[in-house]
């Protein structure tokens, strides 16, 4: 799946650009989207990412750490938001977690994505700050779901 990294990165960038305006400053969005795919990203994709595919094209992605139950980097191509692709991908990640006997999932939601996660059964815990490895921070909402 390492070869899927450029397409996943493109979906991620498009999702952030289209869905996060109005929730974060232009400066934060620019830093979050980044100018290029980090060298470490293909390794992350290979180890933790799962994708939603339609007509042989990646339209969404998400990561799960099957040791900790942490969900990360959920994104759907803007052309496919609202089609159920994100929910089906989340259901797949939950199935993987259950197979590993994980009892609780947790994540840091962007402000715009919290309603999506609530619709998937997650509960808001508290507001927090996400500290990006690229050197910026942004508001987020800590969320969890018991399985």
pLDDT of residue 54: 94
Q: Which residue carries 């999932």 as its tokens?
A: 105
pLDDT of residue 129: 94
* Assigned CATH for 2-146: 3.40.630.30
Whole-prediction pTM value?
0.92
Residue 57 to residues 8, 53, 76, 78, Cα–Cα distance (Å): 10, 5, 12, 14
pLDDT of residue 78: 96
Per-residue pLDDT of the chain (147 residues; tens, 9 = 90+): 789 999 999 999 999 999 999 999 999 999 999 889 999 999 999 989 999 999 999 999 999 999 999 999 899 999 999 999 999 999 999 999 999 999 999 999 999 999 999 999 999 999 999 988 878 899 999 999 999
Q: Strand 57-65 relative to strand 70-76: parallel, antiparallel, unpaired?
A: antiparallel
pLDDT of residue 135: 84
pLDDT of residue 1: 76
């Amino acid at each position: 799946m390492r070869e899927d990294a450029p397409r996943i990165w493109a979906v991620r960038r498009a999702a952030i650009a289209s869905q996060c305006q109005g929730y974060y400053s232009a400066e934060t969005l620019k830093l979050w989207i980044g100018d290029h795919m980090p060298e470490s990203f293909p390794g992350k994709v290979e180890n933790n990412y799962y994708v939603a595919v339609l007509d042989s094209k990646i339209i969404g992605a998400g990561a799960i750490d099957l040791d900790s139950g942490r969900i990360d980097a959920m994104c759907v191509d803007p052309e496919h938001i609202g089609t159920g692709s994100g929910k089906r991908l989340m259901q797949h990640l939950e199935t993987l977690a259950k197979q590993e006997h994980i009892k609780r999932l947790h994540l840091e939601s962007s402000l715009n994505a919290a309603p999506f996660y609530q619709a998937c059964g997650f509960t808001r815990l508290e507001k927090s700050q996400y500290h990006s490895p690229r050197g910026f921070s942004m508001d987020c909402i800590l969320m969890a779901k018991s399985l």
